A and B are shown apart, each in its own frame.
Chain A
Amino acid sequence: MNGEDLINRVLREGEREADEVEVFYARGESVSTEIKKGILGTAEESEAWSMAIRTVKDGRIGFSATSDPDRWRACLDAALASGRLSTPQQWGGLPKPTDLAGTASSSDRDLVVTVDDAAGMVADLLSGAAEHPVEVVGGGANLARSYMMVANSSGTLYGMDRTVASVSLEAIREQSTGYEFDASPFRADIDARSVGEQAASLAARSLGGKDIETGRYDVVLSPIAAASILGQVLLPALSGRNVKAGRSFLADKVGDQVFDESFSVYDDPFAPGLGSTTWDAEGVPTRRLVFVEQGVLRRFAYDLKTGYRYSEESTGSAVRSGGDPPGIGFHNLFVDGPRVKEPGDERAVWIHDVVGAHTANPFSGDFSVEISNPFWVEGGDLVEPVRTAMLSGNVFEMLREIGGLGKDSRRVGRLTIPSIRLNNQQIIGK
């Protein structure tokens, strides 16, 4: 018993003991080819199957998950047992079936999960990297296809396909390293050769960097560096759960001009992307959500549980990872705004990436990180590498005044983001 039969069985059996039952089911296959020392070292193929069950009884929510179809009964019993211990809360029911508006685009019919195609992508990565005098130390290609489904005892049943193609390459020249990557649902979006070339170029060009003195400088965060820092601090602050729990710096600031007026943040689940979907991980229809509009904070993201508890409406923002219960997240998040001035036109320190972004303080917004592949930028060109340094600042403060957004928006996971110029920032040299 597998797939829909099993789901129906779990829903029926669960309803005997709970008011409501939900099943989230996912299965997938993937292949990956990994580069070892400049050649194709390892080929891997995965198949995965998982089922997560939620039960609701008198406002008590239970949860369990399993990767073994034969243990569905134990999983259901564990979900019911877990529900008996959770604190009861206001609950208005799992979503009923509805006609979904919009279309989602997160699956590529032309993407075939074969080791041959993944091996071809590795060959392209390596040929791109060969354009510069570097050693390739790692990287690889991955192709994946999955199917996921949410069903509940109110009759909701949605299913969708997802595909992912991704590549990465890490190069080194002496003690100068370069790393690049890309991922998309669409095989044709991935230019493996260009990713390999970019990584190698970073390693080759960062060699022989000059020291920088401690002081205040204008900096340009590349889309990758910006995504790392904002992802750690800004995104958690937009979660309704953190807001209501007193863990968000942005709580009580809806309607305020919190950031520079050139800075907007929105989630567009209907845009093509890794998180594209018309229903969220609880089966609530998704919608376009503007969180920050020209610097003004407009709203937060909610799932059903947090929404019901605090009398807010779910914004269709539930996501899942692994075998965890659903939580609040984002589908296809965009950082956007008018492009008035190119961030790198006037001299600044351009920062490709940072080391240690996860150590930022998500509540206060303070961070100090090591910077990777920094260059002096002038007239839009990277003119001279900088050896090494730290960047210290506060995310919430620095976004109040932005010196320009680049025309170089790119995908970094589920975030699409341009380079961001920030003037007068603290750099600590060595």
Chain B
Amino acid sequence: MPDVRYYDIRCVRGEITQVDIDNGVVESAGTSFFDKAVIRVLGPQGWGILTRDHVEIDSKREVTDLIEAAARLAAVTQDQLDLADAPRGVLSVPPLGEDPRDVDLEEKTRLLAGIEGAARVDGVTNTRARYTEGIDTVRFLDSEGNEYSYEAVRSGFSVLAIASRNGVMQMGSERDHIITGFNLRDKQDLGRKAGEVAVSLLDAKLPKGGTRRAVLDPELAGVFTHEAVGHASEGDLVREGASVLGGRIGEAIGCPGLVIVDDPSLPEFGFMPVDAEGVAVERTEIIRDGILTSYLHNRETLAAVGNGVPGHARSEHGAPPIVRMSNTFIENGGATYDEIIAECKDGILLIGSRGGQVDPGRGVFQFNAEYGYLIEGGETTDMVRDVSLSGEILSTLHNIALIGNDRKMSPGYCGKGGQSVPVSDGAPHLLLESATIGGRGE
């Protein structure tokens, strides 16, 4: 096929098991099946892509037909893109502690009910818990002779508690997802914590919006890392001119000592043994000692942009791969938690995350904490609720005044281009100068 410079096929077949318990009622508990394939052809110019349910990857005839169809699509594109050479190799998948397939659905339901029940502390009026388990069997082959297959197992849950009193409603939520085995045993503590946070938020104050010092806990500082730096360092956004970090390799964009990493090889929730276009994965330092060092790339953006590391292509089942983060974090610094709170003197401690979003072209991000505490005279005082933080990518990292020594990773899902993939992010406690705090208190 003369007009095919490259092709690859990625099939993901698997099962999703979910259990949903709402106020003690088992709403659903069961398994569904999927079988998705993406066929990409690089024509004389750009990509032609097909997505299908259920492709026989071993059938030469079916594969040839699909490649021809994708090549016809590629013919309408005008992009001038090339693929950079990239190292190949597949890591072994971390071993499973307890295989979730060895636990029957009834036991999963009972264990989840235990977590959900633990959230029902005094003052809580509604509880809900969900278990999610995914078993993916991935097969990949490309026109360069690379072929791999692996299995990915994910298991975890989320629990939500709502407390209400005199028409006021507040929530607490916890989640825990892992790739190393069944993850529902001995987790009632997280249910209880969700309940307790919801109840204590009934008496929390609304913070006053404005500019002040803020301390971010490891979970929220992880979201900060993801939103404020991670997305803007993605090679596709840089290539398209949609990132404020474009053209800034070698510039100091953060405080001295700041190291920000994306590492798909780490056995955290964003782990992948090989990326979605068959490239070996490796630790990538986006920022080293405050200096922008590397972009995150796939083969196409590495060829177009340079200055970075490939192996960051990821895709949701049945969707084409795009450049994504995996496990993103700030490396530990030297400050203890107590030093950070004391140094803050007057400000706000923000805890947990309700998510965030970024406009990488404008360089503006926003994220929301689950709750927080005022810091007065170097000590935490009153609890506050519904507080968010916004900032500008290019200035905010210079405002990190202290980096803690207690990094922790938190699992979650990240959305981009309509695709959702598992990620983790984390950091130690951070002290930020002049943070813009959004709150509607007077």
Are A and B part of the same complex? yes
Judging by beta carbons under 8 Å apart, are B49 and A392 in contact? no
Q: Chain A nearest CB: distance from B245 CB in Å? A: 12
| B359 with A363: CB separation less than 8 A | no
Q: Is A97 an interface residue (CB 8 A)?
A: no
**B residues less than 8 Å from A45 (CB atoms):** 48-51, 69-70, 73
How many contacts between A and B, using CB within 8 angstroms?
261
Interface residue? B174 (CB, 8 A): no
User: Which residue from A78, A87, A89, A249 sits with its C-beta under 8 Å from B169?
Assistant: A249
How far apart are the CA atoms of A41 and B40 in the complex, in Å? 13
Q: Which residue of chain B is the closest to A30 with respect to CB atoms?
A: B51
The answer to whether B439 touches A78, judged by C-beta atoms less than 8 angstroms apart, is no
Tell me which of B13, B209, B210, B390 contacts A370 (CB under 8 A). B390
Contact A172 B31 (CB under 8 A): no
Chain A residues near B164 (CB, 8 Å)?
246
Q: Are A390 and B366 in contact (CB under 8 A)?
A: yes
- The segment from B21-29, B143-151, B327-335, B404-412 that touches chain A is B21-29
Check A430–B29 contact: CB distance below 8 A: no
Check A428–B436 contact: CB distance below 8 A.
Answer: yes
A361 to B354, CA, bound (A): 9
Cα–Cα distance between A62 and B126 once the two chains are bound (Å): 23
Within 8 A of B (CB), among A89-139: 89, 115-116, 119, 135, 137-138
Q: Report A-chain residues with C-beta under 8 Å of the C-beta of B69.
A: 45
Q: Closest approach, in angstroms, between the C-beta of B73 and any C-beta of chain A?
A: 4
B386: which of A39, A52, A71, A361 is its contact (CB, 8 Å)? A361
B225 close to chain A: CB less than 8 A: no
Q: Mark A44-77, 1 if CB is under 8 A from B, else 0.
A: 1111111010000000011111111111001100
A46, B440: Cβ atoms closer than 8 Å: no
- Contact partner, B209, options A43, A364, A368, Cβ 8 Å: A368
Minimum CB–CB distance for B348 against chain A, Å: 13
Judge if A8 is at the interface, Cβ distance under 8 Å.
no
* A41 to B239 Cα, complex, angstroms: 12
CB distance B362 to A175 under 8 Å? yes
Segment at the interface with B among A267-275, A289-297, A331-339, A352-360: A352-360
Q: Do the beta carbons of B361 and A137 come within 8 Å of each other? A: yes
B interface residue count range (under 10 / 10 to 19 / 20 to 34 / 35 or more): 35 or more
Q: Does A119 lie within 8 Å of B242, measured CB to CB? A: no
**Interface flag for A146 (CB, 8 Å):** no
Complex Cα–Cα for A273 and B211 (A): 44
Main secondary structure of the interface of A (DSSP, over half): strand
Q: Is the CB of B242 within 8 A of A138?
A: yes
Given contacts A177-B359, A368-B388, contact A363 B53 (CB under 8 A): no
Scan residues 151-186 of chain B and give those whose CB is less than 8 A from a CB of chain A: 162, 164, 167-171
Most buried by B among A89, A246, A367: A246
Asked if A413 is at the interface of the complex by the 8 Å CB criterion, the answer is no
Pick the contact of B30: A81, A355, A368 (CB < 8 A).
A81
Interface centre among B73, B210, B361, B437 (most CB of A within 10 A): B361
Chain B residues with Cβ under 8 A from A41's Cβ?
Answer: 46-47, 77-79, 81
Q: Are B437 and A428 in contact (CB under 8 A)?
A: yes
B277 to chain A, nearest CB (A): 14
Whether A66 lies near B34 (C-beta < 8 A) is: yes
Chain A residues positioned under 8 Å from B385 (CB to CB): 366
* CA distance in complex: A31, B318 (Å): 14
Q: Which residues of B contact A364 (CB under 8 A)?
A: 168-170, 386
Tell me whether A393 is interfacial, beta carbon within 8 Å: yes
Contact with A175, one of B105, B209, B244 (Cβ below 8 angstroms): B244
B206 within 8 Å of A by Cβ? yes
Q: Is the beta-carbon distance between B29 and A355 smaller than 8 angstroms? A: no
B312-361 interface with A by 8 A CB criterion: 318, 320, 354-359, 361
B361:A175 contact, CB within 8 angstroms: yes
Most B CB within 10 A of own CB, among A48, A62, A356:
A356
**Beta-carbon contact of A428 and B47 below 8 Å:** no
Are B361 and A65 in contact, with the CB atoms below 8 A?
Answer: no
Within 8 A of B (CB), among A309-358: 323, 325, 355-356, 358
Cross-interface CB contact of A62 among B30, B170, B388, cutoff 8 Å: B30
Contact with B along A5-48 (1 / 0, CB 8 A): 00000000000000000000000000101001101111111111
* CB-defined contacts of A48 to chain B, threshold 8 Å: 51, 53, 318
Q: Does B36 contact A (CB under 8 A)?
A: yes
A367: chain B residues at CB < 8 Å are: 386
In the complex, which residues of chain B have a beta carbon less than 8 angstroms from the beta carbon of A79?
30
- Give the complex CA separation of A79 and B363 in angstroms: 47
Tell me the smallest distance from the CB of B374 to a CB of chain A, in Å: 16
Closest-by-CB residue of A relative to B72 is A115
In the bound complex, what is the Cα–Cα distance between A62 and B365 (angstroms)?
42
Q: Are B26's CB and A40's CB within 8 A?
A: no
Q: Identify the closest chain B residue to A170 (Cβ).
A: B242
- Assess the A85–B26 pair: CB atoms within 8 A: yes
Given contacts A245-B22, A390-B209, contact A356 B367 (CB under 8 A): yes
Kindly state whether residue B240 has any CB partner on chain A within 8 Å.
Answer: yes
Is A154 interfacial (CB-CB < 8 Å)?
Answer: no
Contacts of B440 in A (CB 8 A): 366, 368, 392-394, 426
CB neighbours (8 Å) of B74 from chain A are 43
CB distance from A42 to the nearest CB of B (A): 4
B169 / chain A contacts, CB cutoff of 8 Å: 247, 249, 363-364
Out of A64, A372, A390, which one reaches B388, CB within 8 Å?
Answer: A390
Does B368 make an interface contact (CB < 8 A)?
yes
| Residue numbers in B under 8 Å from A366 (CB-CB) | 206, 385-386, 440
Asked if A42 meets B49 with Cβ closer than 8 Å, knowing A177-B361, A358-B357, the reply is yes
A156 proximal to B (CB < 8 A): no
**In the complex, what residue of chain A is closest to B170 when comparing beta carbons?**
A364
- Cross-chain contact A363 with B170 (CB below 8 angstroms): yes
Is the C-beta of A409 less than 8 angstroms from some C-beta in chain B?
A: no
CA distance A43 to B440 in the complex (A): 45
Q: CB of B59 within 8 A of chain A?
A: no
Q: What are the residues of chain A within 8 A of B240 when measuring CB–CB?
A: 36-37, 137-138
B125 at the binding interface (Cβ < 8 Å):
yes
In the assembled complex, how far is the CB of residue A295 from the closest CB belonging to chain B, in whole angstroms? Answer: 18
Evaluate contact between B106 and A85: CB separation under 8 angstroms. yes
A372 adjacent to B359 (CB under 8 Å): yes
Question: Residues of A contacting B376 with CB < 8 Å?
Answer: none
Across the interface, name the chain A residue whose C-beta is closest to B15. Answer: A78
Instruction: Report the Cα distance A171→B296, complex, angstroms.
Output: 22
Q: How far is the CB of B414 from chain A (nearest CB, A)?
A: 12
Q: Does A257 contact B (CB under 8 A)?
A: no
Contact assessment for A44 and B366 in the assembled complex, using a CB-CB cutoff below 8 Å: no
**Which residues in A have their C-beta under 8 angstroms from that of B29?**
82, 85-86
* A423 / chain B contacts, CB cutoff of 8 Å: none
Task: Given A36-B46, A75-B33, A359-B367, check contact A390 B436 (CB 8 Å).
Answer: yes
Q: Please tell me which one of the listed residues A43, A116, A175, A214 contacts residue B48 in the complex, with CB atoms under 8 A apart.
A: A43
A325 to B177 Cα, complex, angstroms: 23
Which of B23, B105, B210, B242 neighbours the largest number of chain A CB atoms within 10 Å of its CB? B242
Residue contact A214 to B361, C-beta cutoff 8 Å? no
Residue from A87, A177, A214 in contact with B362 in the complex, judged by beta carbons closer than 8 Å = A177
Question: Contact: A40 with B78, CB < 8 Å?
Answer: yes
- Chain A residue nearest to B167 (CB atoms) is A249
Given contacts A64-B31, A246-B126, A359-B356, 12 further A-B contacts (CB under 8 A): A41-B46, A44-B73, A47-B53, A63-B28, A65-B32, A85-B29, A85-B105, A87-B25, A177-B362, A368-B440, A370-B365, A392-B438
Q: Could you write out 10 A-B pairs with CB less than 8 Å apart?
A: A39-B78, A42-B46, A45-B69, A65-B33, A82-B30, A176-B362, A247-B169, A355-B365, A364-B169, A370-B364
